[in-house]
Amino acid sequence: METGTLINILFILLVVWFAYTRLRPAPGLKTLREEQFRNKMQSSSDPVLIDVREMGEYRRGHIPGAKNIPLSQLQGRIGEIPQDKDLLLYCQSGMRSKNAARILGKNGYSKLFHLAGGISAWRGKITK
């Protein structure tokens, strides 16, 4: 096999691996549609609702009762989050909340749920 072909194959494998590691769901994370997310908020005993968007986004409107812990600050504020409660995560579109779930999962959290489509999919009340 030629060296150029081998390099191309290795490059493609590297791109596929990179995409997979970025897009795969976090272990233990359950993705919930808007109605399921709302039901989980109501049925769970004392859930913790976390908005992982930045403060400016949070101030423009958030789900009532949500605590703002931006993804960019999550690692430094992880001590504020109880490990024994259901954690309901959301962001604008669902990508940052998946990343937040990966971070939380690596730190021993297991009761992780996130809103598919983020707050953009939310049809309920928004608090400003």
Residue whose structure tokens are 């403060």:
55
Residue 91 bears catalytic tag: yes
DSSP collapsed to 3 states, 85-111: CCEEEECCCCHHHHHHHHHHHHCCCCC
pLDDT score of 22 = 67
pLDDT score of 86 = 96
The token pair at 12 is 């493609």
How confident is the prediction along the chain (128 residues), in pLDDT tens digits per residue? Answer: 788 888 888 888 888 887 776 666 677 899 999 999 999 999 998 999 999 999 999 999 999 999 999 999 999 999 999 999 999 999 999 999 999 999 999 999 999 999 999 999 999 889 88
Q: How distant, in Å, are the alpha carbons of 8, 21, 23, 52 from that of 17?
A: 14, 6, 10, 26
The b/e string for 36-53 (b: 16+ C-beta within 10 A; e otherwise) is ebbebbeebeebbbbbbb
pLDDT score of 33 = 96
pLDDT score of 17 = 80
Query: Which of 47, 54, 30 has the alpha carbon at shortest distance from 105?
Result: 30
pTM of the complete model? 0.81
pLDDT score of 25 = 65
pLDDT score of 79 = 96
Q: How far apart are CA 106 and CA 7, in angstroms?
A: 33
From 29, 91, 104, 115, active-site residue: 91
Q: What percent of the chain has pLDDT over 70?
A: 95
